[in-house]
């Protein structure tokens, strides 16, 4: 077993290796500096000079498998798919789903949720509710992260209307629509906070 | 009286310029390292912390010093308050005044008066600068001692060992140069590099003393305590070494001292090995091209071009030190001491010997 890598004579001289290292850094320095100058002149915008993303001006799209905010899926007529079976609330390890069941006016449908609330301050976004649901009524494929700030605790409790609204927005506006909506709400909130209005 | 006034003006000129250059180097270090690592680097600082005005690419130039100088000035409990306060000053003053012996131009002719563009025309310039650079150790060691912290003390001890070891190689590398030019006066050394070797190659020190150049560059980087020889401050092992317990303006002083020392090293390399303010083919009265072609130039223009050449060379070597800093990893402590005593010192001694032999052969 070879325990120690022996350096060659040239490597032990140290200076050639220093020069080799310097050529690598100098190449990157020259390339990126040229690109930065070209960018400031409005040229070669497609070639990136840095791998970093300038958050929050630039944002990366969340991947397809991203487990984001919840939504309640809809039937073809726009009514909620959920049958208020309480399986999600039972599976939830954080006890954040609160359902109030009611009798559906249609005799062919047994129950529906009168109230369906997710307390996102308690929610740990584990996805157990999605796995537990037998009707595919709750999903987390909204490609948007949970709300991160608000003015009061009630801002973080998402009722049935918001959860269903996400399905509508997603169907109308496509994949990025909810993210756009959230950024707009952030901006409005920032303005409100700046003015000191509660 | 006028002589004193001229000296004072030149000194203020140098002080102001190298302080500015030190601040600039902080910016070059942050943005330059970002560029070579495929990053963007620091690019946002809002004025007064609230207004969404980004001052763009130069903001670290303004924001960094403001931030550092407005931080709390913390003194650890049980620290020696007087020494803790003195240490940054003791580190700063030698670094600042060492530069006055470095010539930054030939002679500026104003009316009848010829002004030597060097704040102090010392005939022992090299010894003076070496002495001042050595005094810098006191600030570092006292900072480590006064902080009452084991990391700071370790950093101070490492700094004293490292700087004493590398000063020997530094001085021996310079002896070769001094033997070649036969003087300790930096202005005379710069003037001696004005001729051309064989009519094409500029007569710069590096062509006479190539080995001394590499030893001097290595030992110089070690003297200014920068990577790959930054064991006294070693962020990973010693947090920040001797200035672990410093904050605010005092810490900024130590950072500035590092940059000032690298400027001094760059200035010495420029003066001793790259002709100082010399521009190839440019003499005091005009341009002497090979083949006896002569263009007379006004004296003021020549002086300005030469000063520009000096600043360019100085800036290049400052930049080169930053590039080396971001290219190489840190030495281990035993490797550092081995390199200093077992490799650089014998090579420097051999260089002195060979230089002496060459002088004997060529004079005979």
pLDDT digits (tens, 9 = 90+) for B341-362: 988 899 999 999 999 998 889 8
Cβ atoms < 10 Å from Cβ of A155: 14
Chain B from 305 to 324: CB within 8 A of any A CB? 323-324
List chain B domain ranges: 77-363
Residue A137 lies inside a defined structural domain of this protein:
yes
Tokens standing for residue B229: 């020889």
**pLDDT bucket at B280, cuts 50 / 70 / 90:** confident
Residue A171 lies inside a defined structural domain of this protein:
yes
Residue A27 lies inside a defined structural domain of this protein:
yes
> Which of A52-56, B40-44, B105-109, B329-333 tops mean pLDDT?
B329-333
Mean pLDDT of A21-35: 90
pTM comes to 0.79
Interchain contact, A52 vs B40, CB within 8 Å? yes
Tokens standing for residue B204: 């710069």
**pLDDT bucket at A94, cuts 50 / 70 / 90:** very high
Nearest CA-CA distance, residue B238 and chain A, Å: 25
- The values of phi and psi at residue B202, to 5°, are -65, 145
A14 & A98 share domain: no
Task: Indicate the SS3 state at residue A118.
Answer: strand
Tokens standing for residue B186: 């930096």
Residue A54 lies inside a defined structural domain of this protein:
no
pLDDT at B53 over 60: no
Domain that holds residue A170: 71-197
ipTM topping 0.90: no
Residue B234 to residue B220: CA distance in whole angstroms: 18
A116 & A190 share domain: yes
- The values of phi and psi at residue A138, to 5°, are -125, 135
How confident is the model over B206-231, as pLDDT tens digits? 888 889 999 999 998 888 888 888 88
Interchain contact, A24 vs B327, CB within 8 Å? yes
Count of structural domains, chain A = 2
Q: Can you say how many angstroms the Cα of residue B296 is from the centroid of all Cα atoms in its chain?
A: 34
Q: What angle do CA A106, A110, A113 make, to 5 degrees?
A: 95
Residue A145 lies inside a defined structural domain of this protein:
yes
**pLDDT bucket at A109, cuts 50 / 70 / 90:** confident
HSE of B133, CA atoms in CB hemisphere, 13 A:
32
Give which of A21, A37, A40, A54 to mutate to test B binding, by max B Cβ within 10 Å: A21
A31 & A88 share domain: no
Cis geometry, peptide bond prior to residue B228 (ω within 30 degrees of 0): yes
* Long-range contacts of residues B119-122, Cβ cutoff 8 Å, at least 24 apart: B119/B7, B119/B10, B119/B11, B119/B13, B119/B14, B120/B7, B120/B11, B121/B185, B121/B187, B122/B185, B122/B186
pLDDT at B55 over 60: no
Interchain contact, B35 vs A36, CB within 8 Å? yes
Residue A175 to residue B218: CA distance in whole angstroms: 57
A80 & A18 share domain: no
**pLDDT bucket at B58, cuts 50 / 70 / 90:** low
Q: Give the residue from B156, B351, B191 showing the smallest Cα distance to B272.
A: B191
A34 & A88 share domain: no
Residue A61 lies inside a defined structural domain of this protein:
no
Edge-to-edge strands of the sheet including A97-103?
A97-103, A111-119, A157-158
Strand partners, B196: B202
A35 & A75 share domain: no
Residue B346 to residue A16: CA distance in whole angstroms: 20
A25 & A80 share domain: no
How confident is the model over B288-338, as pLDDT tens digits? 777 777 887 888 888 888 889 999 999 999 999 999 988 988 888 888 888
Residue A162 lies inside a defined structural domain of this protein:
yes
What percentage of residues in chain B have a pLDDT greater than 90? 9
Residue B330 to residue B143: CA distance in whole angstroms: 22
A80 & A36 share domain: no
Mean pLDDT computed over every residue of chain A = 87
CATH number at residue A106: 3.30.70.3270
B335 interfaces chain A, CB cutoff of 8 Å: no
pLDDT for residue B30:
85
Q: Mean pLDDT check: name the lowest of A50-64, B36-50, B133-147, B169-183.
A: B36-50
How confident is the model over A142-160, as pLDDT tens digits? 888 888 888 888 889 999 9
A96 & A185 share domain: yes
pLDDT at B47 over 80: no
A139 & A98 share domain: yes
Q: Give the residue from B163, B99, B96, B139 showing the smallest Cα distance to B250.
A: B139
Contacts of B244 (CB under 8 A, 6+ apart): B147, B149, B151, B152, B155, B238
Mean pLDDT of B241-259: 86
Residue A66 lies inside a defined structural domain of this protein:
no
Hey, CA dihedral for B28, B29, B35, B41, is it positive or negative?
Answer: negative
Q: How many residues does chain A have?
A: 198
Task: Indicate the SS3 state at residue B96.
Answer: helix
A15 & A105 share domain: no
Give which of A13, A32, A37 to mutate to test B binding, by max B Cβ within 10 Å: A32
pLDDT for residue A120:
92
């Amino acid at each position: 077993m070879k325990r120690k890598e022996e350096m060659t004579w040239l490597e032990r001289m140290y200076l050639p290796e220093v020069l080799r290292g310097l050529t690598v850094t100098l190449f990157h320095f020259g390339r990126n500096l040229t690109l930065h100058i070209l960018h400031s002149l409005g040229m070669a915008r497609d070639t990136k000079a840095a791998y970093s993303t300038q958050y929050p001006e630039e944002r990366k799209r969340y991947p397809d498998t991203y487990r984001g905010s919840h939504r309640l899926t809809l039937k073809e007529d726009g009514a909620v798919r959920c049958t208020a079976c309480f399986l999600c609330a039972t599976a939830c390890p954080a006890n954040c789903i609160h359902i109030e069941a009611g009798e559906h006016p249609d005799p062919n449908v047994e129950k529906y949720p009168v109230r369906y609330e997710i307390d996102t301050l308690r929610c740990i976004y584990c996805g157990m509710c999605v796995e537990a649901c037998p009707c595919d009524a709750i999903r987390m494929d909204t490609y948007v992260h949970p709300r991160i700030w608000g003015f009061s605790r009630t801002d973080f409790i998402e009722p049935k209307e918001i959860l269903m609204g996400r399905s509508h927005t997603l169907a109308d506006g496509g994949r990025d629509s909810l993210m756009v909506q959230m950024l707009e709400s952030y901006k409005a909130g920032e303005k409100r906070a700046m003015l000191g209005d509660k | 009286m006028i002589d004193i006034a001229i000296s004072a003006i030149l000194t203020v000129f140098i002080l102001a310029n190298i302080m500015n250059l030190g601040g600039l180097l902080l910016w070059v270090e942050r943005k330059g390292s970002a560029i070579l690592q495929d990053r963007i680097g620091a690019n946002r600082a809002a004025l007064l912390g609230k207004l969404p005005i980004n001052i763009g690419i130069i903001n670290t130039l303004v924001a960094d010093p403001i931030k550092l100088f407005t931080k709390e000035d913390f003194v650890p409990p049980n620290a020696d308050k007087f020494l803790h306060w003195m240490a940054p000053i003791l580190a700063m003053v030698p670094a600042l005044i060492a530069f006055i012996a470095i010539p930054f131009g030939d002679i500026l002719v104003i009316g009848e008066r010829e002004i030597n563009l060097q704040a102090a025309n010392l005939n022992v310039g090299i010894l003076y600068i070496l002495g001042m650079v050595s005094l810098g150790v006191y600030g570092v060691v006292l900072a480590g001692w006064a902080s009452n912290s084991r990391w700071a003390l370790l950093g101070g001890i490492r700094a004293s060992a490292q700087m004493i070891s590398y000063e020997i190689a530094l001085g021996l590398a310079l002896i070769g140069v001094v033997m070649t030019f036969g003087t300790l006066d930096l202005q005379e050394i710069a003037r001696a590099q004005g001729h051309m070797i064989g009519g094409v190659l500029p007569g710069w020190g590096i062509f006479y003393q190539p080995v001394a150049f590499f030893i001097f560059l290595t030992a110089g980087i070690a003297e200014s305590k920068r990577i790959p020889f930054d064991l006294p401050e070693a962020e990973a092992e010693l947090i920040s070494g001797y200035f672990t317990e410093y904050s605010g303006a005092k810490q900024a002083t130590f950072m500035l001292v590092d940059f000032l020392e690298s400027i001094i090293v760059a200035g010495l390399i420029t003066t001793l090995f790259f002709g100082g303010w010399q521009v190839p083919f440019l003499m005091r009265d005009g341009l002497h091209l090979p083949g006896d072609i002569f263009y007379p130039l006004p004296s003021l223009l020549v002086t300005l071009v030469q000063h520009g050449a000096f600043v360019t060379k100085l800036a290049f070597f400052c930049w080169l030190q930053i590039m080396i800093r971001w290219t190489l990893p840190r030495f281990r402590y035993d490797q550092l001491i081995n390199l200093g005593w077992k490799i650089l010192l014998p090579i420097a001694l051999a260089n002195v010997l060979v230089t002496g032999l060459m002088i004997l052969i060529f004079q005979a």
